[in-house]
Structure 1
Amino acid sequence: MTLSPMSIPANFSHDAVDEYHNNTDSILCHFELSSWVPFVTGVYILIISVLGIILNVFVLVVFWLHKKACTVAEIYLSNLAAADLFLMSVPSVLAVTAATVDDWQFTDTLCKVLMFFPRMNADCSIYILALVSFDRYVALVHPLTDGRMRRPLYAKLACVMVWGVCFLLNVPTFIYSEATRDPEGNFTTCVLKDPIPTMYLVFKGVNEFCCIVLIAVISFCTVNIIHTLRNRIKNRLNTQKKEQKATTLVLVVLLVFMICWVPMQVVRILDLLSLLKILNGCHFLKNLHLCYFIFTSLVLSNSVLNPILYVIVGKTFQTKVKESFTQMSTTLSISQ
């Protein structure tokens, strides 16, 4: 059975030996992670997961409690918080397992869930951020079309489509994931069936291509937004203060996203090439696996940074927090 570099270790507490078949010369590749790497990774993921869950729940509660309906930007940001929340939930389970259990074996069903949901919600984050950047692009660069295109109903429909597309593109991951036991018999690992099914490769290829296009869209929109704002400042044109604040928030969120996600996207593309047997070799697979460990932590950090940025940069969100808690306090006082 061939182990994909993107598979999820079921137990980080052991000195796991990941095995890859070199498709060029059929030599079995072995390498070990230092004993401190799994422990440090597990603790870090646990801390990040707990913070991410608390902060993203806080963002969703504020949007839900506020008496006014969400704007188009807030609809996108609330869906982004939901995707981040779901993304953080699974790593927290893995981290607790890694830190507390020496020999916990995964079932096929659990492996399917653990490989499906993080990937689906990670993809949703990219798609929704593309919607956020396009929304800011229309509002700032093409304000005359603002009223026709930026409607809450359209935003809700776009988010429903994003969740549906991300779900469908990751169905093969759910179908073809399974649990396998390490040859030494001391831990289980979640892997893809061997040989890798053609349907999985097709869907993964489509998914990675879409993510590349979305990153290009995000970059295009961001560059044009910055250019437009500079021209307005240079020409001393008036801009709505609310739009300026929202744009500042989105630009910071997008910048953080690019730093956290682009390295992982490169790794995902390299993983696809390795599955297609275009790139192979023990040295390449070892480095790919190590990069996956590092950049996964970076991706998870993004899900914590987003809600923090809402509070630090988003003055509108700060106002909404104050109004929501004031409203809640008033309601509790009346009920008593």
Structure 2
Amino acid sequence: MQLELMERIKPEAATQAWFENSSLISTFEPSVSSDLELVYTIVPPYIFTLSLLGLLFNGFVLAVFAAHKDRLTVAEIYLSNLALADFSLLCGLPFWGMNILNKMAWSYGDVLCKLVNSVIVINFYTSIYTLVMISIDRYLALVKTMKARWLRQTVYAKMMCVIVWLLGLLLSIPSIIHRKVKFNEESETTYCVLDYAHESSWKLSHQILMNLLGFVLPVLVIVFSSWNIIKALAQRTESTTVHDTNDSKATTLVYMVTLLFLLCWGPFQVFTFLDILCDIKTLDERSWSHTLDVGGQVSVYLGFLNSTLNPLLYVFSGQYFRRKVSSIYRRARHQRRESDMTTYQRSVVSTYFNRTEQIKPVVIFNPKDQM
């Protein structure tokens, strides 16, 4: 998700600049320079570590799904789409880390300014709506088992993944349009900022869309699906002594992934909502300024943690995923053994022929031949 923590430093300060820490939208004015120094010291190592681990973990998940010979199930298509979204987000984070390390001085040009930050926004929407599709798939599988079987086809799942990415791209357009590289004359530094200029309605609209389409609506769908799934599983348990543990485990994994997303991105949505209240004058902006500054930054970096932790859930909670890893490992060992046997056989044959060639004819001396 593209969190944008834009920091406008007051014109009177010597280090005046627009400061941004993320690409969703949250505007704040840091009031204490020590807060900035803390950000410059702690955040870059955190981002670099997060990026490295997340790229490794999500790359491993994508490699497992790609290497397994069996066709992916609908749920696995959605999970691989989620891993791809997380991977793309983490590819852009190192630019942020370097940007903060350089005290918010952007040196990568206007194109990367728009691209890196829009990728984060696209990832946010893609992640949450992929979770919505996973939740709906579980609902169809466990509640509408017979009626909606035709909907649970891999071709439809792939189509929905494409639609989710297009939706994320569409909702990131405000960020793409308003994200700019600007030169601050007083600090003589170039910054990558969200510049709404005098069109403050754009900022408010973007925040409202983020809250409603990026959180409230998806959560309502997920809660509706989850509630009906819980009821359906409870009824099955009461009506029969045999219940499908595979369905229960798969559903538990979905719940854990969804819960992790809400825990990581929920705080950011809360601070975004508070910022909206400040913009419409429901809350006093001066009183909430420092809280939004600190809370906005912390919640953004907490949200990024979600992209790194998701693969760990697949490994530790996804039994089917572990089976895939085990199957790939066994197949690799089998192929290695066959390769070793072939190499050994070739070596034996080669040694036999080499030794045969080295055998020279021996002539036995016969004294009669001298007579």
Task: Report the TM-score, using the length of structure 1 for normalisation.
Answer: 0.83
Instruction: Report if the CA contact (8 A) 2:16-2:187 is conserved.
Output: no
Tell me whether 230-239 or 40-49 shows the greater mean CA deviation: 230-239
Q: Is the 1:104–1:187 contact (alpha carbons within 8 Å) kept by the matching residues of 2?
A: yes
Q: Which of the numbers 192, 196, 207 marks the counterpart of 2:195?
A: 192
2:213 matched residue in structure 1: 210
Structure 2 CA distance, aligned partners of 1:287 and 1:106? 31
Query: 138, 141, 144: which is aligned to 2:140?
Result: 138
Contact 1:136–1:225 (CA under 8 A) maintained in structure 2: yes
Change (3 A) 1:197 1:98: closer
Secondary structure in 2 aligned to 1:142?
Answer: coil
Pairing partner for 1:219 from 213, 217, 223: 223
Query: Take 1:29 and 1:296, find their aligned partners in 2: how far apart are those partners?
Result: 16
1:326 aligns with 2:330: yes
User: How far 1:184 sits from its partner (Å)?
Assistant: 2.8
Select the structure with the greater relative contact order (CA < 8 A; seq sep ≥ 6).
1
Q: 1:148 to 1:40 in 2, by over 3 A?
A: same
> What's the offset of the Cα at 1:225?
2.3
State the shift of 1:262 in Å: 1.7
Asked if the contact 1:141/1:225 (under 8 Å) is kept, the reply is yes
Whichever residue aligns with residue 159 of structure 2, its letter is L
1:309 matched to 2:307? The reply is no
Cα shift at 1:80: 0.4
CA deviations on 1:81-134 (whole Å, 9 max, x unpaired) are: 001111112112222444478955353322212321101111110010011111
Please point out which of 152, 155, 158 is paired with 2:157: 155
Look up the equivalent residue of 1:53 and give its one-letter code: L
Q: Give the letter for the 1:178 counterpart.
A: K
Distance in 1 between residues matched to 2:44 and 2:130, nearest whole Å: 28
- Partner amino acid, structure 1, of 2:194: V
Percent of pairs with identical residues = 31
Aligned pair 1:87/2:89, yes or no? yes
Deviates more, 1:39-48 or 1:223-232: 223-232
Tell me the amino acid that sits aligned with residue 319 of structure 2: K
Task: Provide the C-alpha distance between the structure 2 equivalents of 1:102 and 1:165, rounded to a whole number of angstroms.
Answer: 30
Note closer, same or farther for the CA distance 1:275–1:237 as it changes in structure 2 (3 Å cut): farther
Q: Distance in 2 between matches of 1:296 and 1:29?
A: 16
Gap runs ≥5 in structure 1:
10-14, 21-27
Task: Number of aligned residue pairs: give it.
Answer: 321
Q: Aligned in 2, Cα 1:326/1:296: closer, same or farther, shift over 3 Å?
A: same
Residue number in structure 1 paired with 2:31: 31
Quote the residue 2:358 is aligned against. none
The CA distance in 1 between the partners of 2:83 and 2:118, in whole Å, is 19
1:45 and 2:57 correspond: no
Q: Which amino acid aligns with 2:193?
A: C
Q: Is this contact kept in 1: 2:126–2:164, CA < 8 A? A: yes
SS at match of 1:256: helix
For residue 144 of structure 1, give the secondary structure of its aligned residue in structure 2: coil
**What pairs up with 1:1-336 in 2 under 5 angstroms?**
6-7=4-5, 31-32=31-32, 33-99=35-101, 105-182=107-184, 183-185=186-188, 188-196=191-199, 202=205, 205-211=208-214, 212-274=216-278, 281-331=285-335
Distance across 1 between alignment mates of 2:113 and 2:280:
23
What secondary structure sits across from 1:180 in the alignment? strand
* The 10-residue stretch of structure 1 (230-239 or 259-268) with the greater mean CA deviation from structure 2: 230-239
RMSD of aligned residue pairs (Cα, Å)? 3.1
Separation in 2, partners of 1:237, 1:203: 51
Taking the aligned partners of 2:252 and 2:280, their CA distance within structure 1 comes to 41
Indicate the residue corresponding to 1:25 in structure 2.
none
TM-score where L is the length of structure 2: 0.76
Residue ranges of structure 2 left out of the alignment (5+ in a row) = 8-13, 20-27, 344-371
